[in-house]
Amino acid sequence: MTAPGPLPTPSLILAADHRARAVQTTENWAEFFGALAQALPFCDGILATAEPLTGLRAAGHITALHRTYLSINRTGLAGSAFELDDRLVASVPRAAADGWTGVKHMTRIDMEDPVTASALELLGQVLEQSRDAGLEALVEPLVWHEGRVRRETDAVVLAAVIAHDIGAPVIKVPVPAANPGADRQRAVARVVASVSVPVLFLGGPRTEAGRDRVLDEVRDVMEGGGAGMAMGRTLYQDPDPAEVAGLVDALVHGR
């Protein structure tokens, strides 16, 4: 199998792997699936667990133009006593056999929890297997503390640097917690400058602030030099997933 080549930038990737980690986004399957199908035409790719990936492809919603990332480690259920023990639920060989262009792997880094050492070891193994299989690895490194993601700029930079220097070819990190506008753009630029690979920024949960917050965040990411966005709940939980995905797509691609 030949490698898919570097991620085209800028890119908008639809993130749809939350439910398998017990982040209960949309309980009704048909509504969830339908929202993803509405958003996908405006996205360059999708990262998801075995379902909905398989179903979306079977229904014709995933095309040859989409990059597809199978989310492979989901044992760290949200809020559980074993949340940091995030093992594989799917393999790189399975992703290759199923015809996906890559895998998505999340690694949480908690300086106070020894399980982080095995998590980093697993990341290294997944990166090696991905290279051998000719698949792209989209890595989501997160600095974790007391059950939460640390979003200050120092922590986001640290996570990006660790994943990058182990060999991650594409990185997905939180938007740094900085004041909207110039401060946040500078924070994004600092994260981007810390590595030599594309950095996507995640969208996070949908909030009461709604679309305005989302679109302002996307503007700041792109102004700061981000390679694009990897967004899920802010798109598929919107009352009109197609409309909001189209708005984000226009900002990411400068249209």
At 195-212, the pLDDT tens digits run: 999 999 999 777 766 799
pLDDT at 87: 98
Q: Indicate whether 242 belongs to any domain.
A: yes
Helices (H) and strands (E) in the chain, counts: 9, 9
**Contact partners, residue 248, CB within 8 Å, separation at least 6:** 12, 42, 214, 215, 218, 229, 231, 235
Structural contact between residues 253 and 229, judged by C-beta atoms closer than 8 angstroms: no
Question: 6 in a domain, yes or no?
Answer: no
Residue 4 lies in a domain: no
Cis before 10 (ω within 30): yes
Residues constituting the chain: 255
**Number of domains observed in the structure of the chain:** 1
At 59-71, the pLDDT tens digits run 999 999 999 999 9
Q: Which amino acid is at 223?
A: E
Q: Where are the beta strands (DSSP E) in the chain?
A: 11-16, 45-48, 67-71, 102-109, 136-145, 148-149, 170-174, 199-202, 228-231
Given this model, what pLDDT does residue 209 score?
67
Q: What does the alpha-carbon distance between residue 236 and residue 31 come to, in Å, rounded to a whole number?
A: 9
CA distances for 224 relative to 174, 191, 220, 240, angstroms: 14, 9, 6, 28
Question: CA 21, CA 85: separation in Å to the nearest integer?
Answer: 12
Determine, yes or no, domain membership for 105: yes
Show the tokens assigned to 46: 């999708």
Whether 139 maps to a domain, the answer reads: yes
pLDDT at res. 24: 86
In contact, 228 and 250? CB cutoff 8 Å = no
What confidence tier does 4 reach under pLDDT thresholds 50, 70, 90?
low
Domain encompassing residue 222? 11-252
Residue found by looking up tokens 């401060």 in the block: 183
pTM of the model: 0.96
Please tell me the distance from the alpha carbon of residue 213 to that of residue 135, in angstroms, as a whole number.
34
Give residue for tokens 């700041």.
220
Residue 37, in any domain of the structure = yes
User: In this structure, is residue 221 part of a structural domain?
Assistant: yes
Q: List the one residue out of 151, 142, 200 whose CA is nearest residue 172.
A: 200
Q: Residue 23 belongs to a domain with what CATH number?
A: 3.20.20.70
Q: Is position 130 within any domain?
A: yes
* Residue 20: DSSP 8-state: G
